[in-house]
Structure 1
Amino acid sequence: MLEIFNKWYRRYLFEEESVLLLVLLAVAVLLLMTMGDILAPILAAIVLAYLMQGMATRLQRRGLPQAVGVSIAYLIFIGCFFGITLGLLPLVWRQLLGLAQEAPRMLEQGRHLLAVLPARYPEVFSHQEINQLVALAQAEMGGMGQKLVTSSLATIPSILTVLVYMILIPILVFFFLKDRELILGWLAGFLPSERPLLRRIWSEMDNQVANYARGKVLEILIVGAVSFVCFLLLDLNYAALLALLVGLSVIIPYLGAALVTFPVLVVGYFQWGFANEFYYLALVYFIIQALDGNVLVPLLFSEAVNLHPVAIILAVLFFGGIWGMWGVFFAIPLATLIKAIINAWPTRVDEPISNNLE
């Protein structure tokens, strides 16, 4: 066993930079798993500053001074940040509470709908099974409503914390944008002066992660806004809440659209039944999904991420488990980073390292 470990060590960790990279990866994962909540405002500010840096860079390429480009990008960020936190989120929360209050009526209507199944399909459904299913759904819905009320009351003492975050994150984003080169230079001072492996990985990943993250944010905003306008025109209940779900569903490849289809169609059914409005809603929703997948995604993401669907799903589960929503959002770039590290990792043997992410 010791000889096997020695051969593995001599093959993959024979360079000092390889050991350093392994340590950095382990420390990063450990920090996210143990201190993710504490570091949340800093991590959020870093991600947001990273997203806005592209806009500042484009403005500088058009001839504007660096200070002007950073200022314009920061002002746009401030407008979006406070517009979402003060405008959209309270509206979504009110609609969520309204949906929780409306749930018992929906369950009763659903029970009447299911009551006809035993008569039509007695070999498949029984009255006892339908009653048990409805009772289980009522219990779950009652628990969800209680949790919503309890959480809304429990958040009252933490309003001060939310206000601190609303002040702290914009300040951090400003300094991360303004002093980006200074901060990166300070961090680079802790690394070896000769670091070809890290430079190669960073060069390969910088554009991919930046393009993916900014494209994904634009996709969320476009899909969410179009869905909200369409739902309003159709006079659908809880339009803001459902549009937010549709927008956020693009974060999770393959699964997001399928998961959010159910609440959209369920709300539409309980509002209109199988009337013409319900079919209009289904048609509009599937048109939005088709345009997103076949038009918007190719336009926003010029470079396709060459990852197997299984690798993408595993990345979403793993990084979402250790980093929450940010992990889900950056699951594909992080999986691409792991793929780049595997490809760039030095080895003493001539044959290439097998890449399990492709």
Structure 2
Amino acid sequence: MRREWWVVAGVAAVGLWFLISIEPVLMPFFVSMVLAYLGDPLADRLEEVGLSRRLAVSVVFLLLTLIVVLTLLLVVPVLGRQLGQLIESVPAILNWMQGTVVPRVQSLTGMDLSTDIDQMRQAVVDNWKETGTFAATLLTQVSRSGLALVAWIGNLALIPVVTFYLLLDWDVIVGKLRGALPRSWEPAAVRLAGQCDEVLSAFLRGQLIVMLCLGVIYAIGLTLLGVRFGMLIGMLAGLASIVPYLGVIVGISVAGIVAFFQFGDWLSLLGVAAVFGFGQAVESVVLQPKLLGDKIGLHPVAVIFAVLAGGNLFGFTGVLLALPAAAVIMVLLRELNDRYKNSTLYDTRQPRTDDEEST
């Protein structure tokens, strides 16, 4: 291994240590990077139409702001209200399970679940009594840690500012990074960056739009059926669809239980199945081919592992970075695998390429 590779490894290690050290302040910058990455293609297209870069970025920034504001004003209050109603209904659901479901299960299987359900119900009721105390304690802690609250609000206020300037100078930043690469590394680095962009586009652009569309379809369908908490269940199922088939499994299970508990007949379950079946058909026929096509994707297991590992290591910032980091690592691993398969280490009959000889 050449001496330059040791220098690169040392710089990468120092950079990783630095990022870990300043992790508490990185959240607004990473959120802004994601937003700028999502908005840059639209800004480029507006530039091609004839707008200046600043005007194109201003239009994209206004669109992003409008989407966020409308979401906060229209969707969040409804979801919050339905979440509160769902929490209030948990004791009644447990009582129904103890009085209706448990006897049926016991008659069919011989298993006595009454003790477990009763303990679960009692634990929920006991915790309900402590909800007010917990809320008061939480408010006290927030008021005592005024500086932390101010810092949190300041981080939120930084996001639109940083997003605007990143969008404005995105192409300049990319060009400078490319210009700083060693000349012998530039072709391979640009090729790998293109593959990484393809994966990130599939997830951060295509997959997010697919998730949003599925959430809207599920929420509207369940609401039209009259299922309680239909919007909340639908949007959660849409978010869970980042892992293939997880959204429909979670959504149809929760919506089916709520619908059966609400209406008390099996016909409502057919309606719930029809809603999620329609959503899956739209995803397979329209959304996936149009938005994702044959782009490289991440394996569902890799998605689950990346999100859990990122959240455990770096909290909310780690969750934001999980999928982009997993996509980049996947591309690099594929490149290493290709180089290994074409090397004499894998097969002594393989001729060495120019890149291998130079490294």
Matches within 5 A, 1:80-229: 80-117=67-104, 120-121=107-108, 124-126=110-112, 129-140=113-124, 143=127, 150=134, 154=138, 157=143, 163-184=153-174, 192=182, 195-196=185-186, 197-229=188-220
TM-score, scaled to structure 1: 0.77
Q: Would you say 1:318 and 2:318 are equivalent positions?
A: no
Letter in 2 for 1:131: T
Aligned CA distance change for structure 1 residues 112 and 218 (closer, same or farther; 3 Å): same
Aligned CA distance change for structure 1 residues 189 and 65 (closer, same or farther; 3 Å): closer
Shift in Å, 1:278: 3.9
Task: Give the secondary structure class of the aligned counterpart of 1:116.
Answer: helix
Aligned CA distance change for structure 1 residues 240 and 118 (closer, same or farther; 3 Å): closer
Shift in Å, 1:154: 2.8
Q: Compare relative contact order (CA 8 Å, sep 6+) and give the higher one, 1 or 2.
A: 1
Letter in 1 for 2:117: L
Shift in Å, 1:74: 0.9
Letter in 2 for 1:179: D
Aligned equivalents of 2:151 and 2:245: distance in 1? 35
Question: Could you tell me whether the CA contact under 8 Å between 2:220 and 2:231 is conserved in 1?
Answer: no
Aligned CA distance change for structure 1 residues 327 and 239 (closer, same or farther; 3 Å): farther
Q: Would you say 1:52 and 2:42 are equivalent positions?
A: no
Letter in 1 for 2:94: L
Q: Would you say 1:337 and 2:328 are equivalent positions?
A: yes
> What are the ranges of 5 or more consecutive residues in structure 1 without an aligned counterpart?
1-9, 354-358
1:16 aligned residue: 4
Shift in Å, 1:160: 5.0
1:272 aligned residue: 263
Aligned CA distance change for structure 1 residues 170 and 15 (closer, same or farther; 3 Å): same
Describe the superposition over 1:62-90 as per-residue Cα deviations: whole angstroms up to 9, x where unpaired: 33332332122111100011222343223
Aligned CA distance change for structure 1 residues 218 and 153 (closer, same or farther; 3 Å): farther
Letter in 2 for 1:302: G
Aligned CA distance change for structure 1 residues 80 and 335 (closer, same or farther; 3 Å): same
Shift in Å, 1:349: 4.4
Aligned equivalents of 1:190 and 1:260: distance in 2? 48
Describe the superposition over 1:195-219 as per-residue Cα deviations: whole angstroms up to 9, x where unpaired: 3343332232123313431112211
Aligned CA distance change for structure 1 residues 71 and 36 (closer, same or farther; 3 Å): same
Question: Could you tell me whether the CA contact under 8 Å between 1:54 and 1:210 is conserved in 2?
Answer: no
Shift in Å, 1:61: 2.8
Letter in 1 for 2:138: A
Question: Could you tell me whether the CA contact under 8 Å between 1:227 and 1:285 is conserved in 2?
Answer: yes
Aligned CA distance change for structure 1 residues 147 and 222 (closer, same or farther; 3 Å): farther
1:350 aligned residue: 344
Shift in Å, 1:241: 1.7
1:5 aligned residue: none
Aligned equivalents of 2:95 and 2:286: distance in 1? 41
Describe the superposition over 1:211-270 as per-residue Cα deviations: whole angstroms up to 9, x where unpaired: 431112211221122222222222222233222202211222343432333322222222
Letter in 1 for 2:66: G
Match of 1:69 among 38, 56, 70: 56
Question: Could you tell me whether the CA contact under 8 Å between 2:43 and 2:57 is conserved in 1?
Answer: yes
Question: Could you tell me whether the CA contact under 8 Å between 2:202 and 2:297 is conserved in 1?
Answer: no
Aligned equivalents of 2:23 and 2:244: distance in 1? 24
Question: Please, which moves more after superposition, 208-217 or 100-109?
Answer: 208-217
Describe the superposition over 1:115-144 as per-residue Cα deviations: whole angstroms up to 9, x where unpaired: 4236523x6312xx3222332254257648
Question: Could you tell me whether the CA contact under 8 Å between 2:198 and 2:296 is conserved in 1?
Answer: no
Shift in Å, 1:194: 5.2
Aligned equivalents of 1:241 and 1:256: distance in 2? 13
Aligned CA distance change for structure 1 residues 32 and 302 (closer, same or farther; 3 Å): farther
Question: Could you tell me whether the CA contact under 8 Å between 1:315 and 1:332 is conserved in 2?
Answer: yes
> What are the ranges of 5 or more consecutive residues in structure 2 without an aligned counterpart?
348-359
Task: Give the secondary structure class of the aligned counterpart of 2:283.
Answer: helix
Shift in Å, 1:60: 2.2
TM-score, scaled to structure 2: 0.77
Name the structure where helix makes up a greater proportion of residues. Answer: 2
Shift in Å, 1:20: 1.9
Shift in Å, 1:163: 4.3
Aligned CA distance change for structure 1 residues 213 and 115 (closer, same or farther; 3 Å): closer
Aligned CA distance change for structure 1 residues 182 and 137 (closer, same or farther; 3 Å): farther
